């Protein structure tokens, strides 16, 4: 049995990426759920390399920190000065033990590379027992790239950088994709012989091919089926165009697995997202991070989901969610905001202009309109009245509100946490609930209304309101106003708004208190 090849992957990521004009190192720019570097590492992952070395330089600390997160087994190696791609590989190999096998080198800025393509390159290289194999592609516009120069027999002669190329060489449209497989021993030898005799005064990795060929070693070209995979990223215009290409690739793959995308051009799905069969994604929708969309769920239009789990047959319409969970058959939006640890059980509903944070909403419970639910636990089959606020913050600490099952809370309630409303309890509309409401009780906490009859005709005479009141037969009321002791006091001292809302009084009874709850 032949020994399996020892494989080393070297990713070149020390360059600054000047043309990105960014404080973020180029390889850390994000592209549909992974950094450029993350994409390259996942394209190489199926090789099952025995070791992975990442050459870092510009923004080394940031790149190292990112590696700890996404590829803790990779070894970062510092290239303090960027003296060329050949120099970078030399430094990388200096950091790993000598040994035979295959060294796969990948530029850090080719994020569309697919694992199948890297695999095919390495297999071709190992089967041919070549000293070095380069991935090449025929491209419509080779500007700025290294050209594959072949001899009259069509064999690789050398790779020439555009800036060192003559006119004939520049006309070649077959380019070096920046992905290579090398025999470890022969690569180490050749790297020791690199010169800096070129336009940039750098050690070019690409010169290894000319050196090996002159020494009579077998060098090979592996041509990529789809040149799009080999596109590099040098500025933000290219980054945007790579993003579009990747979007199309991802969307096509999901449609082929049985997901409906109603407008693929405005649907942006991170490579880390999962969707089940018969999910429907409507237009202008972004699905990001660890988001999962269950079978038959409807998401969109105009939805952004980050790290959010949507259960089967749920619907999320015109809403934004981060770190939330939406149960099976639950419904969200339009215009809802689910924040981290918002958890909706099966068939729960979070409606229009509702914000939920760090709260459980039990099965079948509804928060239909204009409400903030923060740090709460709501039981099952409960209805929360419109325009309510779970007052969770006392200025220093956050507190929890607990609402039981089958409760009916009135519209415009404040639940001043910590507070508890029991199973089957009701609360009156307009209540500020500061004390616990026992199971089955009606909690009322608001002023009783009084009407000062004839006030408008008397105090706002000549206005359209007064005329309307008179037409409605309030002339009599206007007469009575003189009798209403204290009425002028209210109208005279309070602002219009206060007067219109009346003065605080304690409600004695609760008849009809819950009438204004909404469903
Ligand atoms: C390189 C190739 C070119 C190929 C192109 C494909 C060389 C000499 N040229 O050119 O033939 O067509 O890629 O995209 O290799 N890097 C380091 N240390 C350095 C220099 C570069 O780590 O000292 C890294 C960069 O961060 C980058 C990669 O190597 O990820 C390629 O470097 P870049 O400067 O982009 O090379 P190109 O000019 O694009
Ligand atoms: Mg480049």
Q: Which among 80, 85, 174, 232 is the best mutation to test ligand 1's pocket, defined by most ligand atoms within 8 Å of the CB?
A: 85
Q: Which atom of ligand 1 is nearest to the CA of 110?
A: 14
Model pLDDT, residue 98:
85
CB 352 less than 6 A from any atom of ligand 1:
no
pLDDT tens digits in sequence order for the chain, 519 residues long: 444 568 999 999 999 889 999 999 999 999 999 999 999 999 999 999 999 999 999 999 999 999 999 999 999 999 999 999 999 999 999 998 888 899 999 999 999 999 999 999 999 999 999 999 999 999 999 999 999 999 999 999 999 999 999 999 999 999 999 999 999 999 999 999 999 998 999 999 999 999 999 999 999 999 999 999 999 999 999 999 999 999 999 999 999 999 999 999 999 999 999 999 999 999 999 999 999 999 999 999 999 999 999 999 999 999 999 999 999 999 999 999 999 999 999 999 999 999 999 999 999 999 999 999 999 999 999 999 999 999 999 999 999 999 999 999 999 999 999 999 999 999 999 999 999 999 999 999 999 999 999 999 999 999 999 999 999 987 666 566 555 544 444 333 333 333 333 333 333 334 444 444 555
Summarize the annotated binding site for acetyl-CoA as residue ranges.
386, 392-393, 429, 446
Catalytic residue status for 369: yes
CB of 145 closer than 8 Å to CB of 63: no
Q: Report which of 344, 321, 511 is spatially closest to residue 428, judged by C-alpha positions.
A: 511
Predicted model pTM? 0.89
CB 221 less than 6 A from any atom of ligand 1:
no
CB of 131 closer than 8 Å to CB of 182: yes
Query: In a 3-state reduction of DSSP, which class is residue 53?
Result: strand
For the chain, the first-to-last Cα distance in angstroms comes to: 73
CB of 425 closer than 8 Å to CB of 404: yes
CB 206 less than 6 A from any atom of ligand 1:
yes
Model pLDDT, residue 4:
54
- What is the distance, to the nearest Å, from the Cα of residue 389 to the centroid of all Cα atoms in its chain? 28
CA of 79 to the centre of ligand 2 (A): 17
Residues in the chain: 519
Model pLDDT, residue 485:
44
Strand segments (E) across 224-335: 260-261, 267-269, 274-275, 280-281, 285-288, 292-293, 298-299, 303-306, 309-310, 315-316, 320-322, 325-326, 331-332
Q: Which atom of ligand 1 is nearest to the CA of 79?
A: 18
**How far apart, in whole angstroms, are the C-alpha atoms of residue 188 and residue 131?**
11
CB of 262 closer than 8 Å to CB of 300: yes
Question: CA-based angle 464:493:495, to the nearest 5?
Answer: 55
Q: Which atom of ligand 1 is nearest to the CA of 55?
A: 22
Render 325-379 in DSSP notation, one character per residue. Answer: EE-TT-EE-SSEEE-TTEEE-TT-EEEEEEEEESEEE-TT-EEEEEEEEESEEE-
Unique residue bearing structure tokens 């002669």: 157
Domains, the chain: 7-230 (3.90.550.10), 259-443 (2.160.10.10)
Q: Which of 29, 222, 369, 406 is catalytic?
A: 369
Ion ligand 2 residue ranges (Cβ < 5 Å)? 232
CA distances from 379 to 85, 345, 346, 477 (A): 61, 10, 12, 48
CA of 109 to the centre of ligand 2 (A): 7
Model pLDDT, residue 493:
32
Q: Report which of 325, 333, 327 is spatially closest to residue 348, judged by C-alpha positions.
A: 327
CA distances from 264 to 48, 53, 267, 301 (A): 34, 37, 5, 12
Summarize the annotated binding site for UDP-N-acetyl-alpha-D-glucosamine as residue ranges.
12-15, 26, 79, 84-85, 146, 161, 176, 234, 339, 357, 372, 383
Q: Which among 15, 163, 191 is the best mutation to test ligand 1's pocket, defined by most ligand atoms within 8 Å of the CB?
A: 15
> Roughly what angle, to the nearest 10 degrees, separates helices 36-44 and 115-128?
50
**How far apart, in whole angstroms, are the C-alpha atoms of residue 90 and residue 184?**
11
CB 85 less than 6 A from any atom of ligand 1:
yes
């Amino acid at each position: 049995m032949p020994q399996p090849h020892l494989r080393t992957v070297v990713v070149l990521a020390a360059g600054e990426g000047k043309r990105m004009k960014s404080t973020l190192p180029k390889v850390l720019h994000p592209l549909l759920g992974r950094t450029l570097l993350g994409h390259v590492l996942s394209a190489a992952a199926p090789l099952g390399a025995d070791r992975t070395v990442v050459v870092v330089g510009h923004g080394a600390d940031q790149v190292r920190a990112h590696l700890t997160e996404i590829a803790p087994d990779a070894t970062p190696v510092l290239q303090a000065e960027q003296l060329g791609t050949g120099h970078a590989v030399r430094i990388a190999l200096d950091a790993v033990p000598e040994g035979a096998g295959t060294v796969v080198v990948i530029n850090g800025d080719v994020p569309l590379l697919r694992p199948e393509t890297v695999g095919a390159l390495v297999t071709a290289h190992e089967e041919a027992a070549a000293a070095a194999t380069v991935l090449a592609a025929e491209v419509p516009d080779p500007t700025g790239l290294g050209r594959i120069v072949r001899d009259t027999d069509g064999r690789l002669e050398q790779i020439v950088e555009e800036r060192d190329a003559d006119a004939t060489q520049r006309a070649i449209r077959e380019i070096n994709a920046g992905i290579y497989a090398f025999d470890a021993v022969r690569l180490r030898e050749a790297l020791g012989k690199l010169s800096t005799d070129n336009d940039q005064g750098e050690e070019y990795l690409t010169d290894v091919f000319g050196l090996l060929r002159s020494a009579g070693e077998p060098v090979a070209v592996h041509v990529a089926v789809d040149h799009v995979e080999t596109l590099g990223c040098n500025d933000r215009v290219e980054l945007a165009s790579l993003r579009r290409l990747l979007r199309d690739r991802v969307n096509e793959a999901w449609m082929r697995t049985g997901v409906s995308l109603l407008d693929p051009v405005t649907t942006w799905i991170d490579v880390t997202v999962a969707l089940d069969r018969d999910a429907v994604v409507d237009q202008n929708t972004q699905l990001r991070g660890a988001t999962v969309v269950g079978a038959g769920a409807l998401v969109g239009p105009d939805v952004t989901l980050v790290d959010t789990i949507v259960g089967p047959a749920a619907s999320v319409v015109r809403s934004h969610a981060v770190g939330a969970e939406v149960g099976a058959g639950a419904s969200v939006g339009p215009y809802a905001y689910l924040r981290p640890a918002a958890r909706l059980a099966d068939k729960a509903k979070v409606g229009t202009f509702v914000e939920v944070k760090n709260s459980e909403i039990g099965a079948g419970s509804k928060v239909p309109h204009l409400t903030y639910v923060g740090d709460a636990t709501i039981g099952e089959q409960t209805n929360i009245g419109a325009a309510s606020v779970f007052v969770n913050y006392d200025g220093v600490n956050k507190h929890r509100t607990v609402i039981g099952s089958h409760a009916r809370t009135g519209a415009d309630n404040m639940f001043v946490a910590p507070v508890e409303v029991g199973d089957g309890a009701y609360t009156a509309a307009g209540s500020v609930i500061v004390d616990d409401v026992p199971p089955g009780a009606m909690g009322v906490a608001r002023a009783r209304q009084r009407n000062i009859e004839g006030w408008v005709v008397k105090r706002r005479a000549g206005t359209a309101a007064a005329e309307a009141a008179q037409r409605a037969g309030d002339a009599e009321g206007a007469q009575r106003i003189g009798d209403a002791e204290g009425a002028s006091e209210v109208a005279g001292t309070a602002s219009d708004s206060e007067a219109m809302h009346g003065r605080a009084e304690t409600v004695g009874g609760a008849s009809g208190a819950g009438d204004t709850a909404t469903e």
